[in-house]
Amino acid sequence: MRAVVKGWLGFAALGAGLIHLALVIGSPPVIGMPLLLIGLAEFAWGVFAFAAAELPVPRAARIAAVVPLLFWVLMLPIGVSGGFPGVRVLPMLVASLLDLAIAVGVTALLRRAATEPRPLKPGRYLLALGAGALVVAALTTPALAATEAVGTVPPGTDLDQPGHGH
């Protein structure tokens, strides 16, 4: 089960990182730079969570997962009031939910580090991992659609044609 949770945490970090990186587009520099750094860190940690045998820097990751939450708590009143037009509520909420899941999941894995139950059979492992991927995709897709990154496809490209997401 530990490997499944590690995979779920990797998916959550990739989803949160993608959302934060998408929010950079259209954000003023004072918001865009922290979003860029947070998104890159989350994305890198998510990749390493899949590649490494153990979670990378779990204690630091648990603390770092709370940083975007604090950032959003500080920026939400300003963004909603119109102070920063790049702040979008739906992506903020989804990324915060994913970051909260990372913090809780890492904490749970750290507490259960000494006790490892028997491993899951390959079929159950793949089903559980796939379920986590579907949940993160279902949360991340509408959040990404609510960012300005969607409108940045240059006209005249193949992606700007009917049937390619429009």
Does 130 have pLDDT greater than 70? yes
- How far, rounded to the nearest angstrom, does the alpha carbon of residue 91 sit from its chain's CA centroid? 10
- The values of phi and psi at residue 87, to 5°, are -85, 120
Largest Cα separation within the chain, whole Å, is 56
pTM of the model: 0.80
**pLDDT value of residue 14:** 94
Average pLDDT, the chain: 81
Q: Is 163 left (phi over 0), alpha (psi -120 to 50) or beta?
A: left
Task: Tell me the domain boundaries of the chain.
Answer: 2-160
- pLDDT tens digits, 90-100: 888 899 999 99
Task: Give me the mean pLDDT over the 102-110 stretch.
Answer: 91
